[in-house]
Amino acid sequence: MATIEKSIEVNVPRSAAYNQWTSFDEYPRFMEGVKDVDRAVDGSCYHWKAKVPGQAPEWDAVITERVEHQRLAMTYRSGAIKGWVATFHEISKDWSRVTLQVEYDLQGFVEHGGDASGIVSSRAQGDLERFKSFIENRGNKSPFADWQAM
């Protein structure tokens, strides 16, 4: 197992960043390769579908930790990515830092001829950059535009 860590600062309060990150149905709008994330009946398990040319990968993931406006952890039940933890830090009233740690199985990537650390690192950084653009550019279209915790 290996872990990468990436961070980005976003021009929204911590509660808004956390609330947007927990809106799993909007992941396809900023996470590369994610087609859909559906909530299971129990509320803590989610079914993911990816967009990969020539494939239709699907997997289940479970929320293993949730600390409102601070931390969210998810563990995948299959695949080379084993899970992730997102933490949310207040920089100021209107700025926050999102840190993403991704745990992955090196062997799963090596078997497919990939450079595990490069692939995972690049994907995590790209997802954070798209998240920043997504939440900062939503303006009053965001369900969190009033920046109130839900």
CATH number at residue 131: 3.30.530.20
**Domain contains 70:** yes
The helix or strand, by DSSP H or E, that contains position 108, with its residue range, turns out to be: helix 106-110
* Domain tally, the chain: 1
**Alpha carbon distance 81, 88 (integer Å):** 21
82-129 pLDDT per residue, tens = 899 999 999 999 999 999 999 988 665 555 555 556 778 898 999 999
In a domain, 122, yes or no: yes
Residue 149 lies inside a defined structural domain of this protein: no
DSSP 53-86: TTB--EEEEEEEEEETTTEEEEEESSSSEEEEEE
Residue 69 to residue 88: CA distance in whole angstroms: 7
Please report the pLDDT score of residue 74 as a whole number. Answer: 95
- The per-residue pLDDT for 31 is 93
Supply the pTM of this predicted model: 0.84
**Residue 17 lies inside a defined structural domain of this protein:** yes
Expressed as residue numbers, the domain containing 133 is: 2-141
- The end-to-end CA distance of the chain, in Å, is 35
User: pLDDT (tens digit, 9 = 90+) per residue, 52-76?
Assistant: 777 778 889 999 999 999 999 999 9
Structural domain contains residue 61: yes
In a domain, 147, yes or no: no
- In this structure, is residue 146 part of a structural domain? no
CA 82 from centre of chain? 13
In b/e form, how buried is each residue of 36-45, taking b as 16+ CB within 10 angstroms? ebeeeeeeee
Read off the tokens for 42.
């129990």
Residue 150 falls inside a structural domain: no
